[in-house]
Each structure stands twice: as structure tokens, then as C-alpha cells.
Amino acid sequence: MKVVITGGGGFLGSHLCEALLRRGDTVWCLDNFCTGEPHNVAHLRANPRFRLVHGDVTTAFDIPGPVHAVAHLASPASPPDYHRLPLETLSVGSRGTENALRLALRHGARFVLASTSEVYGDPETHPQPEDYWGNVNPVGPRSVYDEAKRYAEALSMAYRRSLGVDVGVIRIFNTYGPRMRPYDGRVVSTFIRQALAGGPLSVYGNGSQTRSFCYVDDLVRGITAMIDHRDLSGPVNLGNPAEHTILELAELVLRITGSRSRIENLPLPVDDPTRRRPVITRAREQLGWEPHVPVEEGLRHTAAWFTARFRPQPEPEPHPLRDPHPARPHPVEA
């Protein structure tokens, strides 16, 4: 197939590019690198089936045909990024999604939207099935990302119902692995970075809030299965149903890295979800997918990647609107 991946230069997008090339597909990667990194895909540029397009999905674009699938992954996806880029986040969820949908419409291509577990907000139903409508604050500090993705889902389904686009929606839960940016503000990268630097691990609240962590290789298998499963609209949760508290994660990172860093408790950010765990029955039954990599194994791979590449630097000064506690970066992962 020929697959267009928006946001293909990001953490997740670059792994998807690799996986599709590995199985013989042709991949066109579109990215403006506002949060992605060119070096994530630099090793792919010698592949004759890979094309890198430096562009912005919020501007109308076309790709020469035929195009068989469009995977729309473009968006800032961590709190520091979408608080730093609030208007851009809303734009890529609205105009960007529509431009990607129009590309799929023109070519009769399968369209897969990478949505997020953030559409469930701070859930009152636990664990979260796809038919749960969520508990989202539409005007809070996290709303630019939550509402952008909720709108993107609604727009995608409208294109499916009104124009017949073969749309599929996946809701991605916390994903981690190699190529995460050390200062991206996600909890796994933050804890590993802090542990390797010997600084305190920033645990917000008492650490009892939970997340479900899925290793990137597992997640990419799920996205690929959704690309291949024509006429499955979803939404389909993709994530690891093994639930861990943030404190458990911090302690596991300390054990894996051998760090002597201490754990520092800080006040909870506004609207921080208390619990997050996916119901993946649809993924199992309709995609034949479930995660295989245990969190400890995945964290070892991730920590080894960071150890080989990370050089401690001074902690960045956070944007005042991004972080209510300016002394520390925000660790909560989208």
C-alpha cells in the first residue's frame, strides 16, 4: 500500500513509518516538526519507498496518487506542548483533520484518526469502554487537546456518514518507548530523565493516580491492524489494561536505572485525571490485537535508549500557563 502519515516525524509516527516500510508499504511522511524531530526519520530517507514532506497539515495539501491509506497522527500530544501551542493544537484537530480527510476522500483511501484516551477526561466510569462519553472540562487548561480530539472524532464520523469516507478511529492510551523526547513532559520520559540525572522524581499528589502504559511496538501493531481493517469505524481503544499508580512507576524506574534519586511530592495540576485504564474487548475481538510487552520489559528498553543518548541539562523554565508549579516540568502523559 501507499500510506500517508501526518505527524510521521514524531515519537509514535516514526515508529509507524518504520513498521509499514518493514512490511513493504510505501510511506509518505508529512510533518512540520513543531514537536517531531527530523532525526527520528533520518535513517529512513535512503529507503526508496519513503518520502518526507516538510509541511503543515493545517494548510491544504495533496499527495500524488494512488493513496491507499491516511493515518492522521499530527498533533502536539503532551501537556507542555499543547499548553505552549494551544491555537496550533486546536487548528491541527480541526483544519488539519479536515485536510487529511479530504485527501482520503479524493483518493478513496482508508482514513485512521489517532485520537486519545483524553476524550474520557477525568473518568467517572472505570475502566473506560468506548461507549463511555467522558467527563471533560471544555474550558480547562487541558481542554485545547481534549476538545481538539473530540472534534476530530466528530468530524471524521461526519465524513464517514455524509461522504462515505472509510474512517476508523483509535483512542490511544499512554504510550512510551525509544524516541520520546527527554523534556516532552510525559511521565515515563520525565522519570527516566530525572533518574539518570540524579535529581528528584516529581510525583504530583500522593502518586495514587493511575495510568496504563503501552509499549510503542505493541501500539504500532494496533494502528497497523486498524489501517488494514477496512470499514471498521470504531472507536477502538488501544492501550495496555495493566494499571499502575504513578508512585509504582516511579519506584520501578528507580529500580531499573539503579538511581538513588528521591521521590518528591508536589501539588496536583488542574484537571489531572485520577484513573485511566482501557477496556480493550473491541481491539481483541475486531482487530485480534492485545499488548504483549510487560511494563518492566518496556521500561528497560526505554531506559537503555535514554542512557545511550541522554546528557543531563539544566531543567527548562516552564511556561507559566503550562505548569502551575514552575519549579518542575509537568509529568502527566497524554
Instruction: Just list the catalytic residues.
Output: 145
The beta strand positions in 7-156, using DSSP E, are: 26-31, 50-54, 69-72, 110-116
Can you say whether the dihedral through the CA atoms of 43, 48, 49, 53 is positive or negative? positive
Q: How distant, in Å, are the alpha carbons of 13, 59, 164, 185 from that of 333?
A: 17, 28, 34, 7
Instruction: Report the alpha-carbon distance of residue 94 to residue 104 in Å, rounded.
Output: 16
Q: Residue 214: what residue type?
A: C
Closest by Cα among 128, 148, 211 to 174: 211
Closest by Cα among 267, 271, 283, 247 to 328: 267
Instruction: Report the alpha-carbon distance of residue 180 to residue 305 in Å, rounded.
Output: 10
Closest by Cα among 102, 263, 250 to 187: 250
Helices 216-228, 11-22: inter-axial angle, 10-degree rounding: 60
Instruction: Report the alpha-carbon distance of residue 112 to residue 159 in Å, rounded.
Output: 12
What are φ and ψ of residue 17, in 5° steps?
Answer: -55, -50
Cell digits of residue 208? 495514587
The answer to whether the beta carbons of residues 175 and 216 sit under 8 Å apart is: yes
What DSSP state is assigned to residue 261? Answer: P
Closest by Cα among 57, 75, 240 to 149: 75
Q: How distant, in Å, are the alpha carbons of 57, 162, 191 from that of 176?
A: 24, 36, 12
Q: Residue 310: what residue type?
A: F
